[in-house]
Every structure is written in C-alpha cells, then in structure tokens.
C-alpha cells in the first residue's frame, strides 16, 4: 500500500477516534452531577440510542440507594447489579434470559430511578426520569 494512502487512513482513524471521544465526553457530561451531585451518571444518557441488550442504570454518590423502573415495570432488586466504589454506587440492569426484560423493546423506553439517602430511607426519595431509543 502506498505511503500516502497509509497516512490518509491513519489520519482518518485518528479523526474518527477523536470525534468519538468528544461525543462520549459530551454525552457523559450532559447527564453528570444532577440533583446537586447526588446523581453522578445516567446510563444511557437521556435521548441516546442503544442496542437491545445494552445496560441501563444510574450512578449515585455514596450513601444513596435506588430502585429502577422501565416503562412502568419495576426491575426486581435480584436482577439489578449494585457495585459500590469509593466515589459512587452503581445500579445496572442488563436484559437477558430469565429476566423481566429479555431485550429492550424497539423504539422509545423511559427509566424512572427512585433514589434516597440510605440513612433517611425510601420515604424521603427523589426520582430521576430519562428516556432512550432502542435501534
């Protein structure tokens, strides 16, 4: 392959990777630090396109708990993966065999995450609402 074609291909790859990084960072920033920093991240971000098996969820600052509903259907706690990090608590659901959703339905779906300070309990909760489209 001629050197000029190689340089062109490498340049296109660098530009594409940079564009993906910028879009990803912008997308993450658009959903970060909601509710005075209690909500760290929404996955996917509001208005995003996802695949049928992609995970959805919410990341909260430490000391908070959450439940998730999609299109009005509650996701059983046994099917939601909870991972605690030093700086956040992550709640994730991936559709699959034997779960309340085996795949996301085509079109628009909406998530309601009810979250509360663990020490206060769910009686003092807030709700974050966002939607995604399955392509």
Give the CATH number of domain 32-134: 2.60.40.1220
Say what the pLDDT of residue 29 is.
43
> What pLDDT does residue 24 have?
42
pTM for the full model? 0.75
Query: CA-to-CA distance for 96 and 53, rounded, in angstroms?
Result: 7
pLDDT at 125: 97
The proportion of the chain whose per-residue pLDDT surpasses 90, expressed as a percent, equals: 72
Instruction: Report residue 16: phi and psi, to 5°.
Output: -65, -45
Q: Where are the domains of the chain?
A: 32-134
CB under 8 Å, gap of 24 or more: what pairs does 28-37 form?
31/130, 34/128, 35/126, 35/128, 37/61
Per-residue pLDDT 10s for the chain (135 aa) are 777 666 766 665 555 444 443 334 334 445 556 888 999 999 999 999 999 999 999 999 999 999 999 999 999 999 999 999 988 999 999 999 999 999 999 999 999 999 999 999 999 999 999 999 999
């Amino acid at each position: 392959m001629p050197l000029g074609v190689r340089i062109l291909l490498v340049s296109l790859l660098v530009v594409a990777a940079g564009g993906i990084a910028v879009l990803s960072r912008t997308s993450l920033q658009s959903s970060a630090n909601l509710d005075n920093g209690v909500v760290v991240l929404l996955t996917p971000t509001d208005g995003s396109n996802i695949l049928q098996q992609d995970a959805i969820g919410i990341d909260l600052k430490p000391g908070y708990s959450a439940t998730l509903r999609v299109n009005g259907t509650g996701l059983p706690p046994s099917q939601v993966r909870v991972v605690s990090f030093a700086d956040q608590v992550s709640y994730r659901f991936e559709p699959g065999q034997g779960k309340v959703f085996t795949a996301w339905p085509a079109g628009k779906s909406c998530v309601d995450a009810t979250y509360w300070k663990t020490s206060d309990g769910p009686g003092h909760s807030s709700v974050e609402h966002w939607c995604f489209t399955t392509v």
